[in-house]
A = this chain, B = another copy of it.
Amino acid sequence: MAGNSFGAQFRFTTWGESHGPAIGCVVDGVPPRVPLAEADLQQWLDRRKPGQSRFTTQRQEPDRVRILSGVFEGLTTGTPISLEILNEDQRSKDYGEIKDKFRPGHADYTYFAKYGIRDYRGGGRSSARETASRVAAGGVARAVLTALIGPGIQIRGALVQMGPHKIDRARWDWAQIEQNPFWCPDPVAAAEWESYLDGVRKAGSSIGAVIEVVASGVPAGLGNPIYQKLDADLASAMMSINAVKAVEIGDGFAAAALSGEENADEMRMGNDGVRFLSNHAGGILGGISSGQDVVVRFAVKPTSSILQPRRTVDSAGNETEIVTKGRHDPCVGIRAVPVGEAMMALVLADHVLQHRAQCG
């Protein structure tokens, strides 16, 4: 229990550092007899893969995932699924600068404060490279959700704000997210962001973003009543993604300014049960899903590695400056989209199994 595992029933543990030989994870609690192949996982990793546009890190990794256990003749066996991804592009590199200096905004200083030692190569364990394991595990979660709930369940993420620029929600079109390098559902915003982010990139600067993840087809009744609520687990899941500083469900912070009348999602009867007239709650009431879309948004801070010099200190206690060179993303929020989707899938799969335990 040292903060490398997630989930109560559908539980995965990730391991590996940015510049070690490999990264990976072990997924435990997977129901037996779920169809699963490496290609099912690889499709999600390919979406997250770096180097797909000029806006994401140029680190070149095939990020090919191998299933080492837990699958037999194309089906899960109920035993742990070990997934492994080799680290293939660890350029030989001079670590002199970051070896001793703490990069502002990074975890360098806090890791050192905690452990008294740190693997400084590429951020070591704190590198966003760890999220590849999440995406792979998320692929297992998606397979489980499809097997247990059916194909109706759908999890999609989108970038809804880049820096100060928000999308126009009236133009939301899910089909657009594969059409631009930002997972942006608003084609007008996407076009504007392209030149905007080019400017940020050329300036050696960076910018934050807001991601929205929506799960449709989630049955009512998933979640817990007090702690480990569905929304609390989603908050924990999204906040655990590198650089995330905020999470909201449904109307989120905007709900503070609503009146009780405005906020109430009224209910009518529909063809297959209760139908809500609005979704301020983001599909969760009292920590339990209502059957509406589960809607989560999270904010990603700007990439901490920038070309502007920043004041800092080194591990010997000297004041100094640092410039973080190398391959980096001007907006790490972009690559957080598939990770947010994966975390949604992982939380939902976990709650489906938790629900079966107690409620059959």
Contact = CB atoms under 8 A, between A and B. Distances in A.
Given A248-B299, A264-B104, A310-B264, A205 B109 contact: no
Nearest to A302: B260
Contact of A80 (B4, B236, B258): B4
Nearest to A19: B72
Interface in A203-246: 205-210, 220-229, 231-240, 242, 245-246
A301 B357 contact: no
Interface stretch (A37-45, A181-189, A311-319): A311-319
A82 interface: yes
A274 B101 CA distance: 12
A223 to B, nearest CB: 7
Nearest to A300: B256
A259 interface: yes
Copy count, this protein chain? 4
Which of A1, A124, A333: most chain B CB closer than 10 A?
Answer: A1
A206 B260 CA distance: 5
A285 B266 CA distance: 41
Nearest to A310: B264
Interface stretch (A49-57, A112-120, A169-177): A112-120
Contacts of A305: 260
Interface string A42-85: 00000000000000000000000010111010010111111000
A357 B223 CA distance: 14
